[in-house]
Amino acid sequence: MRRIGLNGWREKVGFISHYPGLIISGGGDIDPACYNGFAHPTIYSVDRERDAFELQLGKFALERHLPILGICRGLQILIVACGGTLIPHIPDVYGTSALHRLEPEPGRRLPTEHFVMIDVESLLADCLQNSHMSVVSWHHQAVDKVPPDWRVVAHAWDDGVIEAVEHEHHPWAIGVQWHPELSILDPNHQRLFLALVQAARTKKTLMG
């Protein structure tokens, strides 16, 4: 694979400066080399080209104060882009009862529902108008080391896994470990997307 230098990636992600907001969506696992992690047999669907692109995309959006929502892998991209680390496999740290996705058979992965507790003094709680809610998740990794300028704003009710983070000095940068798009008929999850749209409209006005 042809390697692209830092300046090359910054040129590639520069298009985002014309947009007032960004969602970084879910997907396969991030290459552990991106956060000085280690290989694990459960890591799957690694795409180093996508990793490199999205890590630079996240940095670019954060630098320009664009409203940004990271969903599942997208949350992890934001954390790794800022120097944080990930837990390669949640059960290794939280025990086998900590299930944030279902695996009824080898190679088959399904989402599962659980509750999260949200910091009432957070932007996320303001957006959701709630401090505890049911979410649908589909992940086996989670945030380990939280980088500077980010803070944890939600945990899983049953096992304490980090479920959401937000940037302390950015006008609107939130990452959720669950998949709000899988509960789109739930008003709680609709509010998160509506809040992002409103933040993007405000940013667009400022951009002229």
Taking only the tens place, the pLDDT of each residue in 88-136 is 999 999 998 878 988 878 778 899 999 999 999 999 999 999 999 999 9
Look at residue 113 and give its three-state secondary structure: strand
Is 163 one of the catalytic residues? no
Residue 12 pLDDT class (50, 70, 90 cuts): low
What pTM, to 2 d.p., does this model score? Answer: 0.92
Q: From the candidates 40, 89, 155, 181, which is the catalytic residue?
A: 181
Alpha carbons 157 and 114: distance in angstroms, whole number: 8
Q: From the candidates 34, 72, 82, 127, which is the catalytic residue?
A: 72
7 Cβ contact partners less than 8 Å away, ≥ 6 residues apart: none
Is 54 one of the catalytic residues? no
Output the average pLDDT for the chain. 92
pLDDT at 160 over 50: yes
Q: From the candidates 100, 114, 170, 179, which is the catalytic residue?
A: 179
Residue 81 pLDDT class (50, 70, 90 cuts): very high
Provide CATH code, domain 6-207: 3.40.50.880
Is 40 one of the catalytic residues? no
For the chain, the domains span 6-207
